[in-house]
Amino acid sequence: MSIPAVDVLTFGEAMLSLQSEGPLSAGGTARTTVAGAEFNVAVGVARLGHRVSWAGRTGRDEPGRVILRTLRGEGVGTSHATTDAQAPTGAMLRERRVADLARVHYWRAGSAASRQRPEDLAPALEAGARILHLTGITCALGDGPRAAVRSAAAYAAEHGWTVTLDVNHRTRLWSRDAAVAALVPLLPYVDVVIASDDELPLLCAGAGAAADRAEADLAQELFEAGIGEVAVKRGADGAVLHLPGEPPVAVAARAVPVTDTVGAGDAFCAGYLSGLLDGLDPLARLHRATTTAAFGVASNGDWEGLPHRDELSLLDATPGSAVR
């Protein structure tokens, strides 16, 4: 059996990100960075010492070059990323509107990422990976990206990879009904579902009625569909892992000062994937995932504060102390 080129392969829209510290209408200053769900996960997994490849599509423009340069600087492979000379890289503005409330504006219609097609991924898939990580955001970008997700999931399942799906539902991208129609057909290829407690019903029959069902019942329905494990993100209340035939495993969130919650779910995914790759037991996987999420919410930016492997124990130190 050939050795996979990487531990994790992912793809999806990475965008130029402008982050304002105050209301845009009041002339709030902004810093320039890059962001995107799969981008954040790729950086997080790479910082934890794993081999990662990002095979998304950017415009042939300066934001696209910044995205690829940032990924390479974080140790993420970009040799299978593609560029589009006819479409721009998408952009977003995150505006700190009042107190700790942020508002996000997107410019992604017609972006290079919305034009990704299954054939763009062929070289990355042929190179191989242990895990294919997908999110619902990519499916929401259009017919091409949705087809790319489905074909990649089918390829990975056929070749024995672990396929992980973070539901990551964004109401400003698509409706719940549209999400259900796109995500449920992916389930035969998926091994691990990661979702917040309010997203889990999107993957179950009769999604509207499913919102009133117990979480354990929803997880059981997913097990019957072939899913191997269901990790549920509960924000400040921690996380729960459901496994077939076993009682749920729960961990509390790490207690940290909350600075910025955007990207916390991606940080959780990065830690969880790392735990899978390291063969950690269920409790240890959840602990790593909630630890990386804590680093995310305690730092400014979507990914900048994510930990390297040798930093995972920092949160065990006494708050306010100096590690010497």
Residue-wise pLDDT for 80-110, tens only, equals: 999 999 999 999 988 877 766 778 889 999 9
Number of domain units in the chain: 1
Residue 185 forms part of a structural domain: yes
SS (H, E, C) the chain: CCCCCEEEEECCCCEEEEEECCCHHHCCCEEEEEECHHHHHHHHHHHCCCCEEECCEEECCHHHHHHHHHHHHCCEECCCCEEECCCCCCEEEEEEEECCEEEEEEECCCCCHHHCCHHHHHHHHHHCEEEEEEEHHHHCCCHHHHHHHHHHHHHHHHCCCEEEEECCCCCCCCCHHHHHHHHHHHHHHCCEEEEECCCHHHHCCCHHHHCCCCHHHHHHHHHHCCCCEEEEECHHHCEEEECCCCCCEEECCCCCCCCCCCCHHHHHHHHHHHHHHCCCCHHHHHHHHHHHHHHHHCCCCCCCCCCCHHHHHHHHCCCCCCCC
Residue 175 forms part of a structural domain: yes
pLDDT bracket for residue 142 (50, 70, 90): very high
Mean pLDDT, the chain, whole residue set: 93
For residue 295, what are the domain limits?
Answer: 6-13+37-87+111-302
- The reported pLDDT for the residue numbered 104 is 84
Q: What is the mean pLDDT of residues 192-199?
A: 95
Q: What is the mean pLDDT of residues 198-215?
A: 77
- Specify whether the CB–CB gap between 261 and 251 falls below 8 A: no
Lowest mean pLDDT, pick from 104-108, 175-179, 199-203, 318-322: 318-322
Q: Is the pLDDT of residue 208 over 70?
A: no
More reliable by pLDDT, 155 or 214 = 155
Residue 307 forms part of a structural domain: no
- The reported pLDDT for the residue numbered 126 is 97
- The reported pLDDT for the residue numbered 207 is 53
- Specify whether the CB–CB gap between 113 and 57 falls below 8 A: yes
Q: What is the mean pLDDT of residues 175-189?
A: 95
- The reported pLDDT for the residue numbered 206 is 61
Burial tier of 287 (Cβ tally within 10 Å: 0-12, 13-18, 19+)? buried
Query: Tokens 């107190």 identify what position?
Result: 99
pLDDT bracket for residue 234 (50, 70, 90): very high
Residue 127 forms part of a structural domain: yes
Greatest C-alpha distance within the chain: 60
- The reported pLDDT for the residue numbered 19 is 87
Q: Global pTM? A: 0.94
Query: Tokens 């449920």 identify what position?
Result: 184
d(CA 57, CA 304): 22
- The reported pLDDT for the residue numbered 50 is 98
d(CA 74, CA 38): 14
Name residues whose C-beta falls within 8 Å of residue 276's C-beta, 6 or more positions apart in sequence: 131, 162, 164, 192, 285
d(CA 250, CA 241): 6
* Four-residue CA torsion sign, 197, 201, 202, 204: positive
Catalytic residue among 61, 266, 281, 316, which?
A: 266
pLDDT bracket for residue 118 (50, 70, 90): very high
More reliable by pLDDT, 24 or 147 = 147
Residue 41 forms part of a structural domain: yes
Q: Is the pLDDT of residue 22 over 90?
A: no
Beta pairing, strands 101-107 & 91-98 = antiparallel
- The reported pLDDT for the residue numbered 171 is 86
More reliable by pLDDT, 164 or 30 = 164
Residue 231 forms part of a structural domain: yes
- Specify whether the CB–CB gap between 38 and 166 falls below 8 A: no
d(CA 38, CA 13): 7
Q: Is the pLDDT of residue 280 over 80?
A: yes
Q: Is the pLDDT of residue 272 over 60?
A: yes
Q: Is the pLDDT of residue 52 over 90?
A: yes
d(CA 282, CA 261): 25
Instruction: Kindly report the CATH number assigned to the domain that includes residue 121.
Output: 3.40.1190.20
Q: What is the mean pLDDT of residues 293-312?
A: 93
Residue 24 forms part of a structural domain: no
Q: Is 266 a catalytic residue?
A: yes
Residue 18 forms part of a structural domain: no
Structure tokens at 149: 């997700």
More reliable by pLDDT, 48 or 105 = 48
Q: Is the pLDDT of residue 29 over 90?
A: no
- Specify whether the CB–CB gap between 203 and 181 falls below 8 A: no
Name residues whose C-beta falls within 8 Å of residue 153's C-beta, 6 or more positions apart in sequence: 132, 134, 163, 165, 186, 189, 190
- The reported pLDDT for the residue numbered 321 is 76
- The reported pLDDT for the residue numbered 242 is 98
pLDDT bracket for residue 212 (50, 70, 90): low
